[in-house]
């Protein structure tokens, strides 16, 4: 830890009933013991189910707030007395965003703006937003909305000014077992003996829920404001995943879907000039720094034209490691 005292912190996670939020709450309660830990989400059923797993007795740290990031007034009220906000709420299903683009914009872009405004207005100390590899050179509306959200958060520091909240982002790839992941789909299809694959050449970045939570926690502890933190994580070939999960099954190739890529990119060559490499992560510095943050220390500049993509990534998971990773999902 870098001097940030979680035990005295009041922490709130938007979209806290999702896969990330549930794991984040679990890790926070068992390892970091914050003074107060609040979940804000719009689904009362998921909150009711989450209360059974993480009760909120009088005097305990847990709080549950019903609300939507589209509602600035609700966020402002919920953020009262909060030190750290983790912004995980998003509309992230690619087909849904394509079918209802206005809804994706309202949640992913305007919702992010509301989080920033409310954090500044009530004096939150640190805010970290979760982003995705699909925000890099976006090929679908979901990725485009997350790109805009990234820009809002990195430059949110300009609006907060000296002494105001710090804003930063984490950017990572597919999460093992998260809602919407291909793994549960493959596990269901395995029972039929036939798996559907869009393209046999496809590769993806890969990390666990635990890794995503630890990345966000370390970002909160070390952030200076305006950075995008990208973890060094392995890639996988989709066909290796298929063989690890369902060896011997029939493969039906359906063709790449609109907005889908063969390989995902976590850092584009256009961002190389602003990227620093550290032992276990990369840090993308903001395009504009008008809030007086000191340079990030300890990193090494990457080479001109550097690109971090799942197709050329040298770090990969074996089929055996993949099989172990999906056990219990």
Q: Which residues are catalytic?
A: 134
| Residue that the structure tokens 């806290």 belong to | 16
d(CA 284, CA 226): 9
| Residue that the structure tokens 């079918």 belong to | 99
| Residue that the structure tokens 């993806």 belong to | 204
Look up residue 127 and give its two tokens: 């805010």
Helix-helix angle 141-160:111-122, to 10 degrees: 20
Ranges of beta strands (E only) in 166-272 are 166-172, 174-175, 194-197, 203-207, 228-231, 235-237, 250-253, 265-267
Look up residue 129 and give its two tokens: 């937003």
d(CA 119, CA 79): 7
d(CA 282, CA 297): 12
The sheet with strand 62-66 has its strands ordered as 62-66, 36-41, 10-14, 84-87, 126-132, 166-172, 228-231, 281-284, 275-277, 300-301
Helices (H), 54-131: 72-78, 94-99, 101-104, 111-122
**Residue (of 274, 279, 281, 280) closest to 295 by Cα position:** 274
* Cβ–Cβ under 8 Å, residues 166 and 303: no
Beta bridge partners of 174: 206
Beta bridge partners of 55: none
d(CA 173, CA 156): 24
d(CA 141, CA 134): 9
């Amino acid at each position: 830890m870098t001097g940030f005292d979680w035990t005295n912190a009041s922490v709130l996670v938007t979209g806290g009933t999702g896969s990330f939020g549930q794991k984040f709450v679990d890790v926070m309660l068992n390892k970091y013991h914050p003074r107060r830990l609040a979940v804000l989400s719009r689904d009362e059923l998921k909150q009711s189910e989450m209360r059974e797993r993480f009760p909120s007795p009088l005097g305990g740290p847990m709080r549950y707030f019903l609300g939507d990031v589209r509602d600035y007034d609700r966020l402002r009220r919920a953020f009262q007395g909060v030190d750290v906000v983790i912004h995980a709420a998003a509309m992230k299903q690619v087909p849904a965003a394509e079918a209802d683009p206005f809804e994706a914009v309202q949640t992913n872009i305007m919702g992010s703006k509301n989080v920033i405004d409310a954090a500044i207005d009530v004096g939150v100390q640190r805010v970290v937003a979760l982003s995705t590899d699909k925000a890099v050179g976006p090929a679908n509306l979901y990725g485009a909305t997350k790109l805009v959200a990234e820009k809002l958060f990195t430059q949110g520091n300009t609006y907060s000014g000296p002494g105001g909240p710090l804003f930063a982002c984490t950017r990572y790839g597919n999460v093992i077992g998260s809602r919407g992941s291909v793994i549960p789909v493959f596990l269901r299809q395995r029972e039929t003996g036939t798996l559907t694959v869009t393209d046999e050449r496809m590769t993806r970045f890969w990390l666990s829920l635990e890794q995503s939570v630890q990345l966000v926690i370390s970002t909160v502890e070390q952030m200076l404001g305006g950075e995008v933190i990208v973890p060094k994580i392995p890639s996988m070939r989709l066909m290796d995943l298929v063989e690890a999960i369902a060896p011997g099954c029939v493969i039906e190739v359906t063709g790449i879907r609109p907005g889908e890529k063969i390989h995902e990119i976590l850092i584009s060559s256009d961002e190389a000039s602003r990227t620093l490499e550290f032992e276990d992560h990369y840090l993308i510095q903001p395009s504009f720094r008008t809030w007086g943050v000191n340079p990030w220390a300890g990193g090494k500049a990457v080479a001109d034209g550097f690109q971090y993509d799942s197709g050329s990534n040298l770090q990969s998971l074996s089929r055996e490691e993949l099989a172990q990773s999906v056990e219990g999902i």
